[in-house]
Chain A
Amino acid sequence: MILEAKEIRKSFTEGKESFDVLRGIDFGVERGEIVSLEGPSGSGKTTFLSILGCILTPTKGDVLIDGEVANAKKLNDIRKRSLGFVFQQFNLFPSLTALENIEYALNVKGIRGREARLEAERVIEAVGLGDRQAFLPRDLSGGQKQRVAIARALAGKAPILLADEPTANLDSVVGTQVLELFRALAKKENRALVIVTHDPKVRAVADRVVKIQDGRLS
């Protein structure tokens, strides 16, 4: 398995009270597999995604990337090397063009110069925005922004892609197009894809649907 979570527990403390958000989750995903992680609001799915993405550390349990435990001291490196993110709000840099948004992410991952430029051009072509690469985010539609975000996640060949509600800010038709594109590219490049969603359309592109409720998988 490329991504594995073992007995993940997460508690948050607010004042004197402690809340258990995740109550012991075991989870795994293979290369090339697409998993839809569904659950109602407050079920803990975004917290779980943050832990899978090595952004949050679990209170108990381990995340394993390609069989290796994600050490809390190396989370930055793991994110650079192995993970690509797609956010609900796109989170593109407004001052950078579509191509530069992708290239900058590659720069952060340590890929620079011509290599970064070629890889950014490859992925922006792959999401069908070759003719929009010099556009600033403000000049792109919601669907186009999300495609740039997908290209940014794909860039650098991270084996694991994590998406948080990627269709939440898109209309139904565009949302479907984005999901199909996302699925096609993940399959073609043999990437594992975990999508946190409320959107039933995601089920259509997922290989497996996992439900989370009250901090447990059901």
Chain B
Amino acid sequence: MVDLATKSLLHDKLRFLITVSGVAFAVTLVFVQVGLFLGLMDNASLTIEHLNADLWITSHDTKNIDFAHTFPETHVKRVRAIPGVASADNLIVWFMNISLPTGSVEGTEVYALEDFTKWNFPWNVTGGNLEDLRRGNYMFLDSSAEHRYGGPFAIGDYREVIGRRLKIIGRSTEAKSFTTTPLTFMNFTLAQSLVPSELRGNTTYILVKLEPGANVEQVKAEIRRRLPYNDVYTGKEWAARSRNYWVESTGLGLNMYLTVFLGCLVGIVVVAQTLYTSTMEHIKEFGTVKAIGGGNADIYSILAKQATIAAVLGFGLGALMAYAMRPLIYKIDLKLVIPTPLFAYVFAGSVVLCLAASMISFRKVASIDPALVFRN
């Protein structure tokens, strides 16, 4: 079978390039926009997922993990007494100022626990021993601080946090928050002493591990009964609530949908326009196909194949460009998360939208009179 569709498409290489580039541009836009969105969402709940607590107790109506509010640290004792609770620990998440060797002051997001090893947090330690954090004015700093604070740091260096000189005794990687503020890890009581006005005698969260086989809903109900002015969530619920806050409050979700829509629109317009122009230029050829006995099905198979080729190649090129951008995006402390299902959806979307774009050309060709082959 002679492949008129492919040969005709490749015959005009410039137009073919424009068509494929249009699709590739749209695909890259969708991958980057959705990938960035998923990357940000990943960061928004990254620490929640890695702390892996069965239940989170927060102050009432806390919107997300970064914007914590205080409540008495003694609440944890009431929680530990609830049947089904294996263990419960206080956690402070709090923004503090850190002075840098350059003389500038930056923000840091402090995570403070009594026992970091118990919670395996931070999860990717690249230097130092978490056990040592409880032994004095010490801190761990995440590697992302190097980029954000504009210079490297080493274990053994000192930094002032709210006027207190703390020694860096370890470092982690991959610990990030939605705000991109570098994370610092320190002992619970040390954190309380740094901000006594707000944190003395207080915590911001209680992390709960349940006993095997414990009824989650029953434990939650009991926590609510004993701590009526707090909220309680499962790890998944709290992660979702934290992510949703950013989606809804910042317009991030709307922005993503809008860009994806515009990307698709650009792709459709480019493919539709180039296919339509090409069809109009080759209208006599389509007339000839009809004159020699071809039907609309023959012609649509040509247009559909051309649209599919443009979609597949454009998708491949677009995906490649998006992947090539990952290291660049990582360098600015952002993540491009492209899960396998997204590949499948964008691929299917590219093919469907290109086929839809080819319908405009088909409507034109379907109505042509084969007698035009006799006209000059």
Q: Could you say which of B8, B284, B294 contacts A108, with CB atoms under 8 Å apart?
A: B294
Task: Establish whether residues A85 and B371, one from each chain, have CB atoms under 8 Å apart when the complex forms.
Answer: no
Least distance between B282 CB and chain A CB atoms (Å): 9
Q: Is B291 touching A96 in the complex (CB atoms < 8 A)?
A: no
Q: How far is the CA of A104 from the CA of B8 in the complex (A)?
A: 12
- In the docked arrangement, what's the CA distance between A203 and B291, Å? 26
User: In the bound complex, how far is the Cα of B284 from the Cα of A109, in angstroms?
Assistant: 19
> Is B4 on the interface with A (CB-CB < 8 A)?
yes
Q: B61 interface residue, CB < 8 Å from A? A: no
Q: A55-B371, A91-B284 are in contact. Are A79 and B7 (CB under 8 A)?
A: no
8 Å CB contacts to B: which residues of A54-93? Answer: 55-56, 76-77, 79-81, 83, 85, 87-89, 91, 93
Contacts of A103 in B (CB 8 A): 2
CB atoms of A55 and B1 under 8 A apart: no
CA distance A6 to B111 in the complex (A): 96
- Judge whether A100 and B285 touch: CB under 8 Å: no
Q: Which residues of B contact A109 (CB under 8 A)?
A: 292-293
CA distance A56 to B287 in the complex (A): 13
Q: How far is the CB of B17 from chain A (nearest CB, A)?
A: 16
Which residues in B have their C-beta under 8 angstroms from that of A104?
2, 4
* Residues on the B chain within 8 Å of A18, using CB: none
Q: Contact between B371 and A100 (Cβ–Cβ < 8 Å)?
A: no
Q: Which residues of B contact A83 (CB under 8 A)?
A: 293
Closest to B288 in A: A91
Q: Which residues of A contact B370 (CB under 8 A)?
A: 55
Comparing A26-34, A45-53, A124-132, A210-218, the segment that makes contact with chain B is A45-53
Bound Cα distance from A87 to B374, whole angstroms: 7
* B276-297 at interface with A (beta carbon < 8 Å): 284-285, 287-295
The smallest C-beta distance from B318 to any residue of chain A, in angstroms, reads 26
- B373 in contact with A87 (CB, 8 Å): yes
Q: With A89-B376, A95-B11, A104-B2 as given contacts, are A76 and B284 in contact (CB-CB < 8 Å)? A: no
Question: Given that A88-B376, A96-B4 are known contacts, is A50 also in contact with B292, CB under 8 Å in the complex?
Answer: no
Query: Could you tell me the distance in whole angstroms from the C-beta of A45 to the nearest C-beta in chain B?
Result: 10
> What is the interface size of chain B, counting residues whose CB is below 8 A from a CB of the partner?
24
Is there contact, CB below 8 Å, between B4 and A85?
no
Q: How far is the CB of A84 from chain B (nearest CB, A)?
A: 8
Q: Kindly list chain B residues whose C-beta atoms are within 8 Å of the C-beta of A37.
A: none
| Pair A93/B376 contact, Cβ less than 8 Å | no
Partner of A79, one of B10, B292, B374: B292
Most chain A CB neighbours (cut-off 10 Å) among B8, B290, B291, B295: B291
Q: Which residues of B contact A80 (CB under 8 A)?
A: 292-293
Interface digits, B1-21 against A, CB 8 Å rule (1 contact, 0 not)?
Answer: 110100110110000000000
List chain B residues, Cβ under 8 A from A93: 4, 7-8, 285, 288
Ordered by A's residue number, 11 sampled pairs between the chains whose C-beta atoms are within 8 Å are A53-B291, A56-B371, A85-B291, A91-B288, A94-B11, A100-B2, A100-B7, A104-B2, A108-B294, A109-B293, A112-B1
B interface vs A, CB < 8 Å? 1-2, 4, 7-8, 10-11, 284-285, 287-295, 298, 370-371, 373-374, 376
Footprint of B on A, CB under 8 Å?
A: 46, 49-50, 53, 55-56, 76-77, 79-81, 83, 85, 87-89, 91, 93-96, 100, 103-105, 107-109, 112-113, 152, 164
Given A55-B370, A87-B374, A96-B4, 8 other A-B contacts at CB below 8 A? A76-B290, A76-B294, A80-B292, A93-B285, A95-B7, A100-B2, A113-B1, A152-B292
